[in-house]
Amino acid sequence: MYRKGYNKYLYILITISFAANILYISTLSYESVFAQKNDDDDDDNKKDDKDKLIVKVSIDLANVDIENTKFIRVIGFINGEEAKQDIPISSIDKSDDNLDVELKVNEENEIVEADTPDEFFVCGYEVGKGDVSKETTTTTPITKFDCNEGDILGNPTKISLFKSDSQVYSKSQEFYQANLNNVKNYTKNSDTVKIKIIAPLADKKDTEKLVIAAMIKGQIQSEVIEDVQAELDKSDSNTISRTFTFDRNTDIGKIQIGDRYHACVASNDLSPPEGQECEKRLVKNFDNVNSLPAR
């Protein structure tokens, strides 16, 4: 009787011990698989970034109107390529001081290979929650934005937006206000804005292929000139140029007098000193072409 009870107790003890071991092994296996999955994801990200040039953009959230913004558009022209991200405000941790955004382009493409100190620009736009096709007020119709320019100094390269000492947006506002009396005449029958980008090549007459790009209000247009030599043969000034026409009504607001636009030209043949060069200017009218030498 005693032995029978003892055997039963021993059987129960062995069963519990076996079940506990199975559960422990299963837990280890799950953790191992989960850890392996994370490692695999990290490896995949590293593989995806292997041939990428990364510009890390730091946005100072203290100078962003979080409550009235739907999303932030971050856009740039880097190493002959467009890079853009729209970041919903709902995805941002409001307790953070800064928002970090990575813009990725190819380190090498058919136009240019990234190198120090190639130039680039990045802009950020606060897109409101309301109807962007309607101007907010007469005095502040320009979508709040900030832009910054930099040189490729490594991979990754860092740049900042919406710092408290930035005067980019205030200069656009000031120009708009100074020309307020003429704005109605400028915009009366103007649904487009024309931007002419000029690339003087007197010092780079052997350039074979390049890309010209223009950006305004979060919109980029670009064109690859496949045979630069053929165009230079027709030019009396060793200059290549392209005129881009933008609709004033964009998906993030209306282009206004005083809005800032950027231009870049890129080619391996421009280096040294830089494989990409960029410049910027404010829109001054809609009736005539706005011109900008990009180098």
Say if residue 277's pLDDT is above 80: yes
* Start-to-end Cα distance in the chain: 101
130 phi, psi to nearest 5 deg: -85, -160
Contacts for 17 with CB less than 8 Å, ≥ 6 apart = none
Structure pTM?
Answer: 0.82
Task: List the 157-161 sheet strands across, edge first.
Answer: 98-106, 52-60, 157-161
Q: What is the pLDDT of residues 81-120, one digit of tens each?
A: 999 999 999 999 989 999 999 999 999 999 999 999 999 9
Query: What is the structure's pLDDT at 179?
Result: 87
Q: Which comes out higher in pLDDT, residue 64 or 130?
A: 64
List the chain domain ranges.
1-48, 52-293
Residue 68 token pair: 């009235």
H or E stretch covering 234: helix 228-234
161 phi, psi to nearest 5 deg: -135, 155
Question: Whole-angstrom Cα distance, residue 219 to residue 90?
Answer: 23
Report the candidate in 132, 63, 61, 130 with the shortest Cα–Cα distance to residue 91.
61
